Structure 1
Amino acid sequence: MAKAKAKPRKPARPRKPGRSLWTPVFWLILLAGCVAGGFAWRDWNRFGEAPLHGGTAAVLDIPQGSSFAAILRQIRSAGLSDESDLYWRALAQRMGVANRLQAGEYAVPAGSSPRELLQRLADGDVIKHRFTIVEGWTFRQLRSELANAADIRQSVTTLSDAEIMRKLGAAADHAEGQFLPETYTWTRGDSDLDILARAYKAMRRALDEVWAQRSAELPLDTPYQALILASIVERETGKAEERPAIAGVFARRLKLGMKLQTDPSVIYGLGASYDGNLRRRDLDTDTPYNSYTRTGLPPTPIALPGLAALKAAVRPAPGDALYFVARGDGSHEFSANLEAHNRAVARYQLRRGSP
């Protein structure tokens, strides 16, 4: 059988010259993209380290629950930046803080950069305000100062003293003397009750500590009595170094059963009726706080004593003085007997009252 003849192959058509991907146009586009990317990268790096708008100081208030977008709106509202959200998000992602930004009130110092601001928000480095409770204030004065403090959230203005103490979990209803005078820091959103709670706990700790260090001969039975005596010492003291000596006078009077005869307790008992002038009839009118008509301590503290007064009350200075009188310069003349005391009164009080 004869073999079939193979069909002759058609000659291959020559390939038409096509456009290569590597044309000058492509290279121009690629070069332009690289240049643009380089400028963008350089600009983004500049953004992270450059001072925020104008380099001026500002305050930034971030509400609770703010999203990243909401925080950026706050930054813009404060006039700190009008840069692209993309820049801010990229920087936050690179720093690893995008999901760690915290609410609060922040100081933005002059010259701060976006990187520094984001780190401050991530660290929760909020503004810390200060509120000082002054030694010798009454609780009524403390409440008034808290009510007038700007930006402290008010929550107890309509409550009685007893209701406040119950909110603090205190066993006693009487609030006087129960809050330690010192400076407390607070941040935006804190309330008056927050500050009172801290001062109450601080006084509990301080009183427990000083009571554990009390003198063996101390004529007091409870830490609360020490708090009462400390409040009297606080109100009687013009010079800090005299606190132990004044506490010593009162401790000896308590031991001997003598009346304390301290004007500040009488004044406290007068309350709002006291007009700044303590009269003889006030000393003769019996009240639970009149230490001229009653022996022993008054029923409650008469002020907020500081730590130094607490220490003096539980470790009074030794000696034999039973009397003291103000010299007029903040210090006192101490006497061991009534005769010497009367001479001191004539020297310092009567002479000062004469024309």
Structure 2
Amino acid sequence: MTLKRALLGAAAIAIVAVIGLAWLLLPWYGSAQIEQDVTFIVPDGATLTSAAAKLEDEGLIASADAFLLRAKLLGGTGHIQAGEFELPAGASPARILDIFQSGEVVRRFVTIPEGLPAVLVHERLMAEPLLTGGIAVPAEGSILPDTYSFERGESRQAVLARMQAAMDEALTQEWAKRGPDTIARSQREALILASLVEKETGKASERPLIAGVMTNRLRQGMRLDVDATTIYPITQGRPLGRMIRLSEVRDPNPYNTRAVAGLPPGPITNPGRDSIAAVLNPADTDALFYVADGTGGHVFARTLAEHNANVRRWREFREREGI
């Protein structure tokens, strides 16, 4: 009889243990209350306790207390990360904790195209609703055009700082690879000249040749005659929206290379790495002039007579096409 009672007692204990283990494990490793993929934000400075309370408030787990108990017993000791996370449909509480501890933070992206001036970079960053805080209009030419990732809630200043650090790094790297034919005497001059090349052509293959023409003209003391430098003091890089006036062409302000020889005092846009590389290693050319050819590129000339003929053809093309 005693043996039978002992066996029954042992069986009862085993059953209780199994039930207890099932109570502990099934809710932890079984599906939570996430019916579809959802993003969840763990704020900066959040603890697991506050994150659990937020999960419960948003209806993603049944009980914060139960989550915390099982996390303490089964979830390890890793700290949770701050940021935005993607929680997949049907994720278990164990999976949620693993995502918080070691998962990838959801990253967003903002693209700065080559040749976007500082005022429009400012507008683009200020218009991004997932960034926080304000910024001043950055210095012209201080931003490297590229696609940058950011996290929801990150400050605009932090993103801008990465863009400016990228430009500093790119300019330093390209400067180290400069060739003997560059006319730039400093990284600053290279940046200014690159901004002019960036505005003059959107055709990547032409950039070294445009840089070569500008280099030739600067060496001969000729004006660069870049329309974008005439427009820049008027609009700070925004489209002019009309023809340039004769008074503006003749305005001897230091940016206006139609009226003043040499480089302007500062960049007129944010040039890409290719334009920087082009002015530091310009094409070997004897061309001094170029004009649009109607295909998005340019036709180049060595003499003013050749250039004038090319200009006539360009004007005929515009009249014929109605542009």
TM-score of the superposition, structure 2-length normalised? 0.89
Give 1:143-162 correspondences, 5 Å limit. 143-156=122-135, 159=136, 161=137
Q: Does 1:265 align with 2:229?
A: yes
Q: Does 1:251 align with 2:215?
A: yes
Cα distance in structure 2, aligned partners of 1:131 and 1:104: 18
Match of 1:102 among 78, 81, 95: 81
Q: Does 1:119 align with 2:93?
A: no
Contact 1:177/1:301 (<8 A) preserved:
yes
- Taking a change above 3 Å as real, the CA distance of residues 142 and 94 of structure 1, as seen in their structure-2 partners, is same
Which AA in structure 2 matches 1:104?
G
Q: Does 1:321 align with 2:321?
A: no
| Corresponding position of 2:260 | 294
Alpha-carbon displacement from aligned partner over 1:292-337 (angstroms, at most 9, x marks no partner): 1110111100000011111011111111111111122211111111
Paired residues, number = 319
For structure 1, which runs of at least 5 residues remain unmatched after alignment?
1-19, 165-174
Give 1:50-61 correspondences, 5 Å limit. 50-61=30-41
- Taking a change above 3 Å as real, the CA distance of residues 227 and 28 of structure 1, as seen in their structure-2 partners, is same
Q: Does 1:280 align with 2:246?
A: yes
| Corresponding position of 1:6 | none
Identify the range of structure 1 (30-39 vs 308-317) with the bigger mean alpha-carbon deviation.
30-39
- Taking a change above 3 Å as real, the CA distance of residues 84 and 210 of structure 1, as seen in their structure-2 partners, is closer
| Corresponding position of 1:223 | 187
TM-score of the superposition, structure 1-length normalised? 0.82
Contact 1:58/1:78 (<8 A) preserved:
no
Alpha-carbon displacement from aligned partner over 1:245-277 (angstroms, at most 9, x marks no partner): 111111111111111001111111222693332
Shift of 1:75: 1.5
Cα distance in structure 1, aligned partners of 2:316 and 2:2: 111
SS in 2 for 1:319: coil
Shift of 1:107: 1.4
SS in 1 for 2:86: strand
Alpha-carbon displacement from aligned partner over 1:36-83 (angstroms, at most 9, x marks no partner): 431342354333333332441011112233232221111122322215
For structure 2, which runs of at least 5 residues remain unmatched after alignment?
none
Shift of 1:237: 1.1
Contact 2:49/2:68 (<8 A) preserved:
no
Give 1:83-232 correspondences, 5 Å limit. 83=63, 85-86=65-66, 88-97=68-77, 100-123=79-102, 125-156=104-135, 159=136, 161=137, 175-232=139-196
Contact 2:34/2:91 (<8 A) preserved:
no
SS in 1 for 2:100: helix
Cα distance in structure 1, aligned partners of 2:46 and 2:186: 50
Report % sequence identity. Answer: 32
